[in-house]
Amino acid sequence: MPMGCGWACSPARASTSGGPLALATCAAARRHQQQRHQQQHQQRRSVAAQAKSTAKEMLAVAPENRAEVAVILDLAEQAAKGWSLTWSRFVSPPVAADALKAIGQLAEVSAIAWGGYPQAERCRIVIGRDELLSAAQADPSQLEGVAALDIRGNFMFDPANHRDFLGALVGTGIVRDRIGDILVQGEGGAQVLVDAELAEHFEAELTQVRSVPVETRLVPLQELRVPPRQEQEIKSVEASMRLDAIASAGFRMGRGAMADLIKGGDVRVNWREAKKPSVELKEGDVVSVTGRGRLEVRRVEKTKKEKFAVNMVRLV
C-alpha cells in the first residue's frame, strides 16, 4: 500500500507488509510525527508568550495611542524574524515616544524615530536588529525610508498655508500617514517629507496648490531649509484652563479669534485636533496652531484668588 497522507503506521502492520525496510520507514514516520507535535507545541507556547509580552509592553502606552503602537509592535515582530529593516508610517510625537518605549522592552530588535531631519515632529519608526541599526543610529540620514520634496510656485498673490499644501498632497490620493512634516516657505512654496516609496507619485501628480501651478521634485535631505527654532517664555494668569483662554494668551490673540481657529480645525492638543474651545488643559500639554507654531504648558499653579498662574513656552 502506498504511504499517503492517510496511511497509519504500526509495527505489526509494517512487519507483515514489508519486513525490516517497512519497520525502518515506520519508525521514521513516528519520529517525524513526534517532531511535528513538538514544533506545534513550541509554536503555541511562542504565541502565548508573545501575547503575554505584548500585553506587558502595552501597559505603559497611553490608551489613545495603543492601536497605532500595536501595529508598530507587529512590525517589530517581523523585523525580529528577518534580516531587514521595517518601517512604520508617519506618527505623531506621542505615538513615537510610546512605540520606542514599548520596543525598548524587546530583546532582539531596536528602533529609532526618523522624520528626515533631527527636529522633525512627524516621524517614521524604523525597526531592525542591532547589527542593522547601529550605523543608522549615528547618522539616520543614510536611511532610505524618508524623502524630501521641494514644491515651487509663485504664491505672491494667492498665499498657501500648511493646510493648503497638506490638502493638495492628500488630494493626489495618498493618506495622511504617508506624509511627514510640511515646511512652508512663504511666497516660494514648501518642502515636504514623505514616504520615499511615494516620491515619484508626488512628482508626477502634485501640479497645483490652491490656484498656483507648482513644480514638485525630489531633493536630497541635505537641501532641506529648516527654519531655526525660537523659544519665547510667556506667563499669564487665567480664570480657567480652557483651551481658548490659554491658547489666546500664549499666541497673543483675542479669545474669539482663537475660538474660530479651534472650530475651523486649525488647533491641535498633543497633536490631535481639538474639537471644542472648552477643552481643559494641564501641565505638559502641547497646543499647535496651523501656521503659528506650538505652545507648551510648562507649569500651572493656583493663586490665592483661585486663579491659574500659567508658565508657557511658545515655539516658533
Count of CB atoms situated within 10 Å of the CB of 243: 23
**CATH number corresponding to 149-223:** 3.30.70
**At 82, is the secondary structure helix, strand, or coil?**
coil
Q: Residue 48: which pLDDT band, with cuts at 50, 70 and 90?
A: very low
pLDDT in tens, 248-257: 999 999 999 9
231-315: CATH architecture: Roll (3.10)
**Separation of alpha carbons 169 and 151, rounded Å:** 11
The pLDDT, as a whole number, for residue 47 is 37
The pLDDT, as a whole number, for residue 18 is 54
Is 277 within 8 Å of 262 (Cβ atoms)? yes
In terms of pLDDT, which residue wins out, 128 or 21?
128
H/E stretch holding 301: strand 293-302
The pLDDT, as a whole number, for residue 219 is 97
CB within 8 Å of 279: residues ≥ 6 apart: 242, 243, 269
What phi, psi does 142 have (nearest 5°)?
-80, -15
**Separation of alpha carbons 23 and 284, rounded Å:** 73
pLDDT at residue 93 greater than cutoff 80:
yes
Q: Is the pTM of this model over 0.75?
A: no
Is 247 within 8 Å of 293 (Cβ atoms)? no
pLDDT in tens, 57-88: 777 788 889 999 999 999 999 998 888 899 99
**3-state DSSP of 17-70:** HCHHHHHHHHHHHHHHHHHHHHHHHHHHHHHHHHHHHHHHHHCCCCHHHHHHHH
**Separation of alpha carbons 244 and 197, rounded Å:** 40
The pLDDT, as a whole number, for residue 291 is 77
Is 246 within 8 Å of 281 (Cβ atoms)? yes
pLDDT at residue 4 greater than cutoff 50:
no
Rg (Cα) of the chain, in Å, rounded? 28
**CATH number corresponding to 63-142:** 3.30.1370
